[in-house]
Structure 1
Amino acid sequence: MTSMDWATALDRLFDQPNDPEARTWLEGAVAAGTGTPGQRRAYDLLVAGQDVIELLDALPEAVAQAVAKAGADRLTISPAPGEWSASQLIHHLADNEAVNAVRIRSILTEDTPTIFGYDSDPWSRFYGVEPWEHALERLRCARRNTVALARSLSAEEMDRRGVLSYRGAESLRVLLAVLAGHDRDHLNQLESTLTATR
């Protein structure tokens, strides 16, 4: 079997979603509990034939719809001690988009750059700086730019790589798939949080 890791296996699924070697490796990795939640969700999305850029494009509206259905009074309620409220999740998604905007540009303009990781929990101390509505608007604007940039790239540009401290080297298209997976996990969490705080 070819030497495999998460980034290599996910890359292969872009070209061939039914690649048996990549699928076998990934199924074993998921069963073993390895990889980040975003990587595991990216695997699900690619196997299902989902369009990563379309998923990225859809996130802000999906967040806005979930919030509109719930009502603003529930957004600051935490479902349990130590768990983020819906408002905090929106701030996190906006912050994460800002981080990934820098990662994407670094990959596109530098030769295999080191891409910084960050611990999102300490960043929550800044969530009170702006209302959640402003964080959602930040997410909308930044994601609109990310999607426009992604749609403008050639296959060769999507193949460019960066090295993330906790995931290793991966192509830009895999980074985008993991970002879409991260979105999906937090959108599910947002919906669950809003349901739990009824």
Structure 2
Amino acid sequence: MEEIEKLKYPIGHFECPSEISIEKINEWILVLDELPKKLSSLVSNYSEEKLNTPYREEGWTVRQVIHHLADSHHHSYTRFKWALTEDKPLIKAYDEKEWSDLFDAKTAPITLSLSYLTALHAKLVYLLKGISAKDYHKFYIHPEGQVSVSVAENLGKYAWHSNHHYAHIKNLATKNKW
């Protein structure tokens, strides 16, 4: 059981600090800024066979993980915008597992999502570097549990999410000596 947990969460679960410093915010922004280039570099020479390899038994393939990152971060970008422009908006959740079982997630060229992540993260990083410290305290409401998520916490979650899925692919490559 411990081994499957390590495969599912190679960097552990996200833990949000109770106080989020400007240094932590800048660290998380840097993670988002670097992800598209790091990820593209990691998978640039992957064959179709490697792209269709699951990172763990019963897990998503490398291809699905890459498309999931684009889909998930697309949702996150919208959540940032809602939190910054509306008063405590209730966001819409999506079923990431169902999205990753769609035809495009299983078969589309990864360049579609890698290019999209590059553009999306450039926009997101630009936005996050330009907002005020006060803006980081704005929040949205997640419908699962009616949980309030601040802009700062969402930033931390998606920096973690970036590193989490990057580690899935990196660990698979290391294990298989790719």
Aligned residues: CA RMSD:
2.2
How do 1:31-110 residues align onto structure 2 when only pairs under 5 Å count? 39-40=14-15, 42-43=16-17, 50=24, 51-68=27-44, 71-73=46-48, 74-110=50-86
Q: Is 1:152 matched up with 2:127? A: no
The answer (yes or no) to whether the contact 1:79–1:196 under 8 Å persists in 2 is no
Structure 1: runs of 5+ lacking an equivalent? 1-36
Supply the AA of the counterpart residue of 2:137. D
Q: Which has the larger radius of gyration?
A: 1
Per the normalisation by structure 1, the TM-score is: 0.71
CA distance in 2, matches of 1:143, 1:116: 21
Structure 2: runs of 5+ lacking an equivalent? 1-11
Name the residue aligned to 2:168: 189
Deviation of the 1:115 alpha carbon: 2.0
Deviates more, 1:124-133 or 1:57-66: 124-133
Say how many residue pairs are matched: 157
Name the residue aligned to 1:175: 154
SS at 1:59's partner residue? Answer: helix
Seen in structure 2, the aligned counterparts of structure 1 residues 158 and 38 have a Cα distance that, compared at 3 Å, is farther
Deviation of the 1:128 alpha carbon: 4.1
Supply the AA of the counterpart residue of 2:159. A
Name the residue aligned to 1:114: 90
Seen in structure 2, the aligned counterparts of structure 1 residues 172 and 80 have a Cα distance that, compared at 3 Å, is closer
Deviation of the 1:81 alpha carbon: 4.2
SS at 1:118's partner residue? Answer: coil
Q: 2:105 aligns with which of 127, 139, 144?
A: 127
Supply the AA of the counterpart residue of 2:130. S
Deviation of the 1:80 alpha carbon: 4.6
CA distance in 2, matches of 1:162, 1:116: 10
Q: 1:138 aligns with which of 116, 129, 144?
A: 116
